[in-house]
Structure 1
Amino acid sequence: MTKVAFLGLGVMGYPMAGHLVSKGHDVRVYNRTIAKAEAWVAQHGGNFGATPREAAEGADFIMACVGNDDDLRTVCLGDDGAFAGMKSGSIFVDHTTVSAQVTRELSAVAAAQGKGFVDAPVSGGQAGAVNGVLSVMCGGTEADYARAEPIIAAYARVCRRLGDSGAGQLAKMMNQICIAGLVQGLAEALAFGQKAGLDGAAVVEVISQGAAGSWQMANRHKTMLAGDFDFGFAVDWMRKDLKICLETADEIGASLPVTALVDQFYKDVQQMGGGRNDTSSLIRRLVK
């Protein structure tokens, strides 16, 4: 039994922390809204800390899944932050999608204190978290990753170290860049089919077996056609991620013309009141 703290019990963190319990780990959780932490403990057992520091005290691994760069700094730093409660030799594993810059910043702080840090953003959405089949992209030292990987395995279908600190976040940016283009392409195809008078579901049954097939097509075409957009990862969060992608592209001299365009399409969806819709709601712009 390994002592683990989990910070952040949103739609992803709540089930991820539950999988750690199911694998036999001793888990203490933290959430800004204490009622959510109390509900998690009532369902899964364990206990909760009133602050990130309290949750992290005595833990061998501290996992986090919060909102953005500022949220991550808040749970890590300061008198009530997790770093203040972590013991020497423990490892902080960050599942938040944040910038590579904040990842490297916090990794350096942890290293100076004799603590490990692995950036480990995830892909697979709420369903992947609930079913324990997330894809996890990691950055950090080989030694820290080797220790953390068996803990991450509680909710991962695949987990890989892709380089030093920040590499996991850069890989997650690649993931979001791919998704943006794929969802826009699928939205355009389905809207085109509707205008042309075709049965979109029937067409997808055929073309999904060929070169056009994708996870998005297989899992989202029916709900997109039905106008159902309540499947976890929200447009507001996607725009946060794409902002990180675009800013990083500027820093490294990469060109992301399609990503930049789709980001503006998501802005349109927000202005239509769809900020909490899932990312497949891009089709709303095309079937008004």
Structure 2
Amino acid sequence: MADVAFIGLGVMGFHMAGHLACEGHSVRVFNRSPAKAELWCDEFGGDAFPTPREAAQGADLVMVCVGNDDDLRAVVLGADGAFAGMSPGAILVDHTTASAGVARELAVLAAERELGFLDAPVSGGQAGAESGMLSVMVGGEQVFYDRAAPVLESYAKMVRLMGPVGSGQLTKMVNQICVGGLLQGLAEALHFAQCAGLDAHGAMAVISKGAAQSWQLEHRHQTMLEGAFDFGFAVDWMRKDLSIVLTEAERNGAQLPVTALVDQFYAEVQAMGGGRWDTSSLIARLKTPR
């Protein structure tokens, strides 16, 4: 069992930290809105602290799950940041979907303090966080990974070291490229089926047993046909992620024409008022008269 601090109790972090507590780890938490931290303590026990620094004091592992690069720097750096409270030998595990650049930046600063650092974004959404069945893609040194991995398994069905620092974030970018393309393809397939007068539900039942099978098809086609999007991973967050992807592609020379197009389609969904809709809402723009 480990002494763990968890910083960021949003739709993902709240449940991830809960799994740690349920597994028997000693968990200390920080959230920028204290009411959420108090709610977590009411449900899972543990202690809430007013700053990341205080939450991180005495922790073997400090997990962070916040919104973006700037949010990450805000809770890790500075006099009240997590680094200021961590003891030499402790490891910071960043679950934020952020840039590979900020991961490398924080790894250097961690090493100066004799701390370990792993970038470890996750995939599986809120449902995966709730069920403890996330995929965790990790970048960093083997020695840090070996210490952290048994704890990460508290909320994961897959944990894998992908390479040096930044590799976790790069793998998450690969994930988001796939998800965006799959959802656009599924949206067009469902739209086509309806326009052709097919039983779209029946069509999905048939093709889900063949080469077109995917998690998105299995779990999203029903709600897409119903026009229900008030759940899941928000379009606003997907656009943030795709911005990171496209910026990295400019740096490494990758050609991502479909990803760039899907990003534009998500911008249209935002313009329709769907910024907080699930990413499967791509189908909504196809049903809008043009």
What TM-score comes out, normalization by structure 2 length?
A: 0.99
1:111 is the counterpart of 2:111: yes
Runs of 4+ in 1 over 4 A off after TM superposition: none
Q: Is the 8 A contact 1:69 1:98 kept in 2?
A: yes
Equivalence for 1:216: 216
| Displacement of 1:91 | 0.3
Residue number in structure 2 paired with 1:237: 237
Work out the CA distance in 2 between the residues paired with 1:230 and 1:164.
Answer: 37
Question: Which residue pairs with 2:7 in the alignment?
Answer: 7
**Larger CA deviation: 1-10 vs 268-277:** 1-10
Deviation by residue 1:52-102 (Cα, 9 ceiling, x = unmatched): 001100100000100000000001000000000001100000000000000
* CA deviation string 1:131-179 (max 9, x = no partner): 0000000000000000000110000000000000000000000000000
On the 8 A contact 1:23/1:154 being kept in 2, the answer is: yes
Q: SS of 1:191's equivalent?
A: helix
Instruction: Determine the structure 1 residue equivalent to 2:138.
Output: 138
Task: Tell me the distance in 2 between the aligned counterparts of 1:49 and 1:261.
Answer: 43
Q: What corresponds to 1:247 in structure 2?
A: 247
Match in the other structure for 2:200 = 200
TM-fit CA distance, 1:196: 1.1
Find the aligned partners of 1:143 and 1:94 in 2 and give their Cα distance.
Answer: 16
The answer for the alignment partner of 2:282 in structure 1 is: 282
Report the counterpart of residue 258 of structure 2 in structure 1: 258
SS of the residue corresponding to residue 162 of structure 1 reads strand
What are the ranges of 5 or more consecutive residues in structure 1 without an aligned counterpart? Answer: none
Matched, 1:184 2:184: yes
Q: Could you tell me how far apart the structure 2 residues matched to 1:159 and 1:125 are?
A: 15
How many Å separate the matches in 1 of 2:27 and 2:61?
A: 10
Q: Kindly provide the amino acid, as one letter, of the partner of residue 254 in structure 1.
A: A
Tell me, in whole angstroms, the C-alpha distance in 2 between the residues paired with 1:9 and 1:251: 32
Q: Distance in 2 between matches of 1:96 and 1:197?
A: 43
Query: Is the Cα–Cα contact under 8 Å of residues 126 and 231 in structure 1 kept in the other structure?
Result: no
**Partner deviation per Cα, 1:254-280 (whole Å, 9 max, x = no partner):** 100000000000000000000000100
1:232 to partner: Cα distance: 1.9
**Distance (whole Å) between structure 2 residues aligned to residue 11 and residue 53 of structure 1:** 22
Q: Residues 91-127 of structure 1, C-alpha deviation per residue, up to 9 Å, x if partnerless?
A: 0000000000000000110011100000000000000
Give percent identity, aligned residues only.
65
In 2, distance between residues paired with 1:78 and 1:51? 11
Q: Distance in 1 between matches of 2:232 and 2:38?
A: 22
2 CA distance for matches of 1:2 and 1:174?
31
**Residue identity in the other structure for 2:146:** A
Structure 1 position 197, deviation (Å): 1.2
CA offsets 1:212-251 (integer angstroms, 9 cap, x no match): 1111000000000001112321000000000000000000
Q: CA deviation at 1:199?
A: 1.2
Secondary structure in 1 matching 2:88: coil
In 2, the alpha carbon distance for the partners of 1:76 and 1:274 equals 31
> 5+ residue gaps in structure 2?
none
Matched-pair contact (CA < 8 Å) for 1:5–1:28: yes
2:227 alignment counterpart? 227
1:86 aligns with 2:115: no
Equivalent-residue separation in structure 2 for 1:53 and 1:283 (angstroms): 44
Single out whichever of 193-202 and 172-181 deviates more from structure 2. Answer: 193-202
Distance 1:57 1:21 in 2: 18
Alignment-mate amino acid for residue 160 of structure 1: R
Q: Secondary structure at the match of 2:163?
A: coil
Report SS of the residue matched to 1:28.
Answer: strand
